[in-house]
Amino acid sequence: MPAPSTDTPKPSQSKSIKELIEEQFVSGGLKLPVFNPVALELRQALQAESTMSMKDIADLIMKDQSLASHLLRLANSSFYGGLKRVDTVSAALVRLGMERVVNLAMVTSQLLAHTSKVDSIAPYMTALWSRSFVCANGGRWLAQETGYDDRAEEAFLAGLLHDIGELSLLKMLEKLSKDQSLSLALTDSLLNEILDSLHTDIGYRLMTKWQLPEVYARIARDHHAERFDEGDPLLIIIRLMDVLCRKLGVGQAADPEIELAAMPEAQILGLKDIKLAELEVLMEDVMAESNALLSA
């Protein structure tokens, strides 16, 4: 009679994918490139109104050479560059200002994070980056056009990070897919189900965990909610940008039948057809810039 097997199933084998994701989140499994440490430190210093000088910020950015080089490339792009090229982080700070450069550092860190070597996940990363970048730039423009100029950079960052829950989920699923004991088949239907059902909650909890301002956490949580705070202009702006991305097919199938002017968010912001048409044209240019950054 053969000896009984000493192999015992790993606990994770009997757990659902949702439980495995939750286990990663709670256990600190998010030590992943979702937020670049330097970009996060810059953002936290800025929101805390620290006494960091431009030299301090430049020195901090230069600690991460990959971040610094990509940031300079972005600062010299058609969207942000001036007539004269900038070759140093200090020069970028002088031209663009501290808050814009800190936001560009976050853009750069997010661009670098939206990659995957898992074939089933890589297209989702590209689609997510495009939506985030378009929402960021469109959010800034809408803030400026609807009387919230002083919150334009906040709108930019809110758009960039509102779907951070999707990025973190994709990173966790990428990690789980490499665990041979799980035999995890990441089909499109499974990926879409996980992202749709979990990304707002995970995004809110992740931002809270990283101590980002509550305004960004709320937007991550409520940008798809049926009920939402109509008195929160940044949330309204990002919700409208999400609808526009669906209409234009940014990182998803296009739905040209969507009437932006009929959306409650557009009505709350007082946006008419002409202004919304202008926004659509501008975002087509942003989509081209997004693709250029991905291929750079």
Answer left, alpha or beta for residue 9, where phi above 0 means left and psi between -120 and 50 means alpha: beta
Query: Can you tell me which residue has the tokens 């758009």?
Result: 159
Domains identified in the chain, total number: 2
Residues 215, 142 within the same domain: yes
Residue 147 lies in a domain: yes
Computed over every residue of the chain, the mean pLDDT equals: 87
Q: How far apart are CA 64 and CA 181, in angstroms?
A: 35
Average pLDDT over residues 197-207: 95
User: Residue 189 is encoded by which pair of tokens?
Assistant: 């239907």
Residues 140, 270 within the same domain: yes
pLDDT (0 to 100) of residue 2: 43
Residue 3 lies in a domain: no
Higher-scoring residue by pLDDT: 223, 81: 223
Which of 49, 81, 114 corresponds to the end of one domain?
114
Query: Can you tell me which residue has the tokens 């661009």?
Result: 111
Question: What is the domain range of residue 252?
Answer: 116-295
Residues 149, 74 within the same domain: no
Cα-only R_g, the chain: 21
Q: With cut-offs at 50, 70 and 90, classify the pLDDT of residue 33.
A: low
Higher-scoring residue by pLDDT: 249, 30: 249
Higher-scoring residue by pLDDT: 180, 270: 270
Residue 180 lies in a domain: yes
Most confident of 72-81, 104-113, 133-142, 169-178: 133-142
Residues 94, 220 within the same domain: no
pLDDT (0 to 100) of residue 4: 44
pLDDT (0 to 100) of residue 248: 95
Q: Is the pLDDT of residue 7 over 80?
A: no
Residue 1 lies in a domain: no
Whether the CB-CB separation of 155 and 139 falls below 8 Å is answered with yes
Residues 147, 276 within the same domain: yes
Whether the CB-CB separation of 67 and 105 falls below 8 Å is answered with yes
User: Residue 45 is encoded by which pair of tokens?
Assistant: 């210093």
pLDDT tens per residue across span 204-250: 999 998 888 899 999 999 999 999 999 999 999 999 999 999 999 99
Q: Global pTM?
A: 0.83
Which of 114, 135, 151 corresponds to the end of one domain?
114
Q: How far apart are CA 188 and CA 196, in angstroms?
A: 12
Residue 25 lies in a domain: no
